[in-house]
Structure 1
Amino acid sequence: MQPDLAQPASANLPERKRSEGFAFRPIAVRYGLVTLLVLMVAFFGVMEPSFLSVRNLVIVLQSVSIVAILALGVTATLVVGGFDLSIGAVAATSLMTSSYIMVVFGGGTVAAVGACLAVGALVGLVNGLLIVRLRIPDLLATLGMMFLLLGLQLIPTEGRSIASGMTLPDGSTATGSFTAAFLALGRYRVFDLVPISVLVMLALALLITVFLTFTRFGRIMYAIGSNERAARLAGAPVEAYRIAAYMISGVFASVGGVLLAARVGRGDVSSGNSLLLDAVAAALIGFAVFGAGKPNAIGTAIGALFVGLLLNGLTMMNAPYYAQDFIKGAVLVAALMFTFGLSNRPR
């Protein structure tokens, strides 16, 4: 009985199908989220024509700007392999700090903004020291800081929001007010169209992109995040870079808090409640933009825009508020599937 040396033509069919699947996979990983974004915009544009109006898109950019700024700060910590859960609390603390300085103490714009930036840098420094020096896991350290700040910001006013003419805990009346220059940071529109907060977001996104992508410091931060031991053996000051990443996150969060205070014009104790989750979602969705598979500033900005457009479209279509978080979570899971589920499958 002679062996059958000839193989049927269909023998290579499974291999061919697998190779075609592998060829499709990089395309899905690289362009899947962008395609989803285009389809989402087209869907909302058809269902609600005013969705694509210039006025509405500017509103979306303004609503997204503060979340994007916080998300860019989170991106800096993700680059070094960390994570910052305190950004929402830092933003809320900056909001209350600037309000207290101007309304209670009668301070000016420079004093309020400078104090907020100092608060952000200090919180970032403390977070970094807790993580690097005391070796507390980053999630636990920043979670503890989040609760500490959320409680601390309420103590001076006994849990009340800050507004001009309010009665202080000692019975006196606050005589200060928000300056026109400070309020302009959140309300003024360049050419009567583009809000200042959007320009600040674009400037910070460009700055952090150049820093992380084209400078030696940024490359070292990526090296620390991908292989901390190798970076340490190569002589990189790992501890200093990790602390710096948390300080960047704290300063960016404080900038977001200042812009939020300037927009609402009062120290609202509930204004920063949703900032953390939206910023984290934007930063994680950024992993899937153009198949980056790693934290990056451009992806984070696009992720924030994605979340903003999604929520704006759902609102315009009168979707119930209680379903929006579910849909946002589903989109986040889909984005992570594009990044990790497809790209990490065995080849």
Structure 2
Amino acid sequence: MNAAEANRSPKGFNFFDFLYKYGTLITILLLVVVFGTMTDNFLNGANIINILRSIAIVTIIATGLTVSLSVGGFDLSVGSTASVANALVISMFVWHGQSIGVGIAVSIAFCLVIGLINAFLVINFKIQDMLMTLATMFIFQGVALTYTRGATISQNMIMPNGDFATGVIPDSFGKLGEVPWIIIIMLLVVAVVHLFLTYTKHGRYMYMIGGNPEAAKLSGIAVGKYRLIAYLVSALFAAIGGIVLGARVMNAEVNAGGPYLMDAVAAAFIGYSVLGAGKPNAFGTFAGAVLIGILSNGLIMLSVPYYAMDIVKGSVLALALAITYYKRKH
């Protein structure tokens, strides 16, 4: 066989490439089979709906994080931003007696300001995204705690002056946190971001910036503008996640959005390898969230202690990172 024939020959099967592309989806199927075999109710329709409902908020927040990752950023403040949105929207009802429209609008507007602050600090001071948003994460977490005075906001709560709060959380607002609306919102967010990043020139510009910002700049792409957009979108979806969280639990717990950060980061990074994308993408993030949701649900059904959950999640994230970065170097 001469060199030309060798070049035309199909490339041999590479097990690692196959694992990289389909490993997450295969793992999901294996977990479904294992948990379905070991437990009686795992494959019930009601439990499947419960899994989708449980991952909705994580998926929404993680999808925003995915957009920041697409430009080479890393918004660690999404959990704190969700906490701020959660506290604001519930307080608008309970403390100020506002309508649903006003409560949601105020929460989103304030969180967009958070996105502007993150973008301004990262772009203008040229500090590494992860380090700067780590700092702002604590700042906005403190803002949420200060605003709520470290207390849970709920109907009929006792105010600092000793009176009871008279505002009521509308029942229609609570519908946003119930099936099917919470799942519909999640799927819409994933679909919109997937279409935007994959099929629009702006999405392609974001991926170019994430791959090589200098080359993108030399190509005439407004790098600063797209990084600003990425942080605004990240803050927007963190806000939506916090609002949906408020609708689901009908109160605002202290730092309610904080626990979602780790799951959101895990989902986004697991998603890098789904179908061999090799980059942050909305469909992969959704698949990562499904994987985490199935793991959590199945382990709970097997009566694994809740304090062991983070060991499993951390291990899954470590494996996803190992595969992603090994692939980048080979």
TM over 0.5: yes
Q: CA deviation at 1:151?
A: 1.2
CA contact (8 A) 2:144 2:255 kept: no
Taking a change above 3 Å as real, the CA distance of residues 298 and 340 of structure 1, as seen in their structure-2 partners, is same
> In structure 1, what is the equivalent of residue 303 of structure 2?
318
Q: CA deviation at 1:263?
A: 0.7
User: Matches of 2:145 and 2:125 in 1, distance apart?
Assistant: 28
Please tell me the residue identity of whatever aligns with 2:113. L
2:227 maps to 1:242 = yes
Q: CA deviation at 1:344?
A: 4.1
Q: CA deviation at 1:197?
A: 1.1
User: Matches of 2:214 and 2:255 in 1, distance apart?
Assistant: 42
Please tell me the residue identity of whatever aligns with 2:57. I
Q: CA deviation at 1:25?
A: 2.4
> In structure 2, what is the equivalent of residue 58 of structure 1?
49
CA contact (8 A) 2:141 2:255 kept: no
User: Matches of 1:237 and 1:222 in 2, distance apart?
Assistant: 13
Q: How does 1:245-256 map to 2 (within 5 A)?
A: 245-256=230-241
> In structure 2, what is the equivalent of residue 110 of structure 1?
101
User: Matches of 2:329 and 2:153 in 1, distance apart?
Assistant: 52
Please tell me the residue identity of whatever aligns with 1:82. G
Taking a change above 3 Å as real, the CA distance of residues 79 and 344 of structure 1, as seen in their structure-2 partners, is closer
Q: CA deviation at 1:173?
A: 2.7
Question: What is the TM-score with the length of structure 2 in the denominator?
Answer: 0.93
SS in 1 for 2:148: coil
SS in 1 for 2:151: coil
SS in 1 for 2:158: coil
Please tell me the residue identity of whatever aligns with 2:55. V
CA contact (8 A) 2:61 2:237 kept: yes
> In structure 1, what is the equivalent of residue 90 of structure 2?
99
For the aligned residue pairs, the C-alpha RMSD in angstroms reads 1.6
Q: CA deviation at 1:229?
A: 0.5
Q: How does 1:327-338 map to 2 (within 5 A)?
A: 327-338=312-323
Please tell me the residue identity of whatever aligns with 2:172. A
> In structure 2, what is the equivalent of residue 205 of structure 1?
190
Please tell me the residue identity of whatever aligns with 1:87. V
Q: CA offsets, 1:204-232, max 9 Å, x none? A: 11100111010011010000000100110
User: Matches of 2:210 and 2:329 in 1, distance apart?
Assistant: 22
- Give 4+ residue runs of structure 1 displaced > 6 Å after superposition: 19-22
Tell me which structure has the larger Cα radius of gyration. Answer: 1
SS in 1 for 2:157: coil
User: Matches of 2:12 and 2:309 in 1, distance apart?
Assistant: 34
- 1:287 pairs, out of 272, 290, 301, with 272
User: Quick check: 82-91 or 332-341, which moved more?
Assistant: 332-341
Question: What is the TM-score with the length of structure 1 in the denominator?
Answer: 0.89
CA contact (8 A) 1:88 1:276 kept: yes
- 1:90 pairs, out of 58, 78, 81, with 81
Unaligned runs of 5+ in 2: 1-9
Q: CA deviation at 1:20?
A: 9.4
Taking a change above 3 Å as real, the CA distance of residues 137 and 338 of structure 1, as seen in their structure-2 partners, is closer
Q: CA deviation at 1:253?
A: 0.3
Unaligned runs of 5+ in 1: 1-18, 188-193
> In structure 2, what is the equivalent of residue 305 of structure 1?
290
Q: How does 1:258-269 map to 2 (within 5 A)?
A: 258-269=243-254
